[in-house]
Chains A and B, each alone.
Chain A
Amino acid sequence: MWGVGAATFALNSKQQSPPAASWWVVFLDNTDQANALAYHDLTNEGLPISKVFVKTIQADKASLSVGASHEICEMAVDPWLNSAYQDPGGTFWAGEVCDPVEDDQYGYDIGGVRVTDFVTPNWFGHKNSVGAIDLQQHARTAFEVLTGGYAQKFDPQKGWVQVTGARAARTMRGSQAAPGSRRERRARGWNKWALSTHTFER
Chain B
Amino acid sequence: MLHIAVINESTAIADADVQNMTPSTPNGTTI
In the complex, whether A76 has a CB less than 8 A from a CB of chain B is yes
How many residues of B are in contact with the other chain, CB < 8 A?
Answer: 28
| Bound: A114/B1 CA distance, A | 25
Q: A21 to B18, alpha carbons, bound, how many Å?
A: 21
Contact of A12 among B5, B10, B27 (CB under 8 A): B5
Residues of A at the B interface (CB closer than 8 Å) are 4-12, 14, 18-19, 21-29, 33, 37, 39, 52, 54-55, 58, 64-65, 68-69, 72-73, 76, 111, 113
Kindly list chain A residues whose C-beta atoms are within 8 Å of the C-beta of B29. Answer: 6-9
Asked if A27 and B13 make an inter-chain contact with CB atoms under 8 angstroms apart, the answer reads: yes
Interface of A is mostly: mixed
- Nearest residue, chain B, Cβ from A58: B12
Q: By the criterion CB–CB under 8 Å, are B5 and A22 in contact? A: yes
B30 touches A5 (CB 8 A): yes
Q: Does A10 lie within 8 Å of B3, measured CB to CB?
A: yes
Known: A7-B28, A65-B21. A25 touches B10 (CB 8 A): no
Q: Sort A-B residue pairs by CB-CB distance and give the 6 closest, nearest first.
A: A6-B28, A18-B5, A9-B22, A54-B10, A7-B2, A22-B5
> What are 23 residue pairs bridging A and B, where the CB atoms are less than 8 Å apart in the complex?
A4-B30, A6-B28, A7-B30, A8-B2, A8-B28, A10-B3, A10-B6, A10-B24, A14-B7, A18-B7, A21-B3, A22-B5, A24-B7, A25-B6, A27-B10, A52-B10, A55-B12, A58-B12, A64-B21, A65-B20, A68-B18, A76-B2, A111-B23
Closest CB-CB distance, A32 to chain B, in whole Å?
12
Q: Are B13 and A54 in contact (CB under 8 A)?
A: yes
